[in-house]
Amino acid sequence: MAEAHHDDSHGQANARGARPGKRPRVSAPLATTERSPEAEGDPSDALFNSLTLFAQGLERLQQDRPRQTCPSCGASRKYYCYTCFCLVGLEYGTEVPTVKLPIKVDIIKHPNENSGKSTAIHAKLIAHHDVTISEYPTIPDFGDPSGTVLLFPADDATPLAEIDPSVVKRVVFVDSTWLQCNAILADERLASLPKVRITAENTLFWRPQKNKPATHLATIEAIYYFFKQYAAAFECQPYDGRYDNLLFWFVFYYRMIQGKGSSKGSSKGNGKGNGKGNGKGNGNERR
């Protein structure tokens, strides 16, 4: 599940795109006011072009790579091992970025959730030291429960901006389908946690769940928006892109699946407007 929040109105149907009224992004020196016709057609463009991503890594991942053997378990993998949570044939710093998170993340994964398809692994790969993935019914001992919150889109959940960042040191996400997640959330070990919610955002996931609103986020999207909103509330205003690389793998797969990998948004990140000189995507990297 990992959807962010329900109370959103549907009035933000274009929330993936330009949102006049939302806070300005400083990490988007490339965003031009001019919008190409293609930009209107692909809801990912506004978001992806505004992200501060590790462009060098995205470029290197464009190269065709054979599957390799995971050094830990020996399985044949491409890019990373989703059971060992390690890179396979790739290196941090040259191909894959890392992100340091301000609080710890625990992801509780339903055992039926397909590890190879889950986006929870993306968070573990990028923020290795701050993210723990557990498979239900295993739930870590959170210690003092007052320092742990559960992301849950309930009406009685506390808005993220209203938590006390000096107290909250850990956030829990549930990685499962909606039906599976109910069983996990009913577990007393999670049900007893204070709940927080984030401001609604629309998903760009290529495997949306049936009959779910656009605000039903993939797990990595929920984690990303949690930290983006956390930063905006407690660390930097306006948000400076510091957690954008949480979406590194999400953007990589999105573009690959959309068939954009080699033709657009590739080496220089100049996804759109080649020949039009609108410069979108250029200079989109940092860190």
As measured in angstroms, the least distance from the Cβ of 79 to Zn ion is 12
- DSSP reduced 3-state for 278: coil
- Dihedral sign from CA coordinates of 229, 22, 126, 258: positive
As measured in angstroms, the least distance from the Cβ of 51 to Zn ion is 29
As measured in angstroms, the least distance from the Cβ of 11 to Zn ion is 45
**Cα–Cα dist 234/207, whole Å:** 32
Q: Which is nearer to Zn ion, 72 or 146 (CB)?
A: 72
As measured in angstroms, the least distance from the Cβ of 192 to Zn ion is 34
Task: Tell me which residues touch Zn ion (CB under 5 A).
Answer: 70, 72-73, 81, 84
Give which of 68, 180, 164, 173 is closest to 114, Cα–Cα: 180
As measured in angstroms, the least distance from the Cβ of 85 to Zn ion is 8
The answer to whether 67 touches 76, Cβ cutoff 8 Å, is yes
Preceding omega of 165 cis (within 30 degrees of 0): no
Decide: residue 225, CB within 10 A, 0-12 exposed, 13-18 middle, 19+ buried.
buried
Q: Which is nearer to Zn ion, 68 or 132 (CB)?
A: 68
Looking only at the bridges linking them, the beta strands covering 79-81 and 86-88 are: antiparallel
Q: Which is nearer to Zn ion, 73 or 257 (CB)?
A: 73
Cα 280 → chain centroid:
22
As measured in angstroms, the least distance from the Cβ of 247 to Zn ion is 23
Q: Which is nearer to Zn ion, 1 or 70 (CB)?
A: 70
Dihedral, 96, 273, 32, 270 alpha carbons, nearest 10: 20
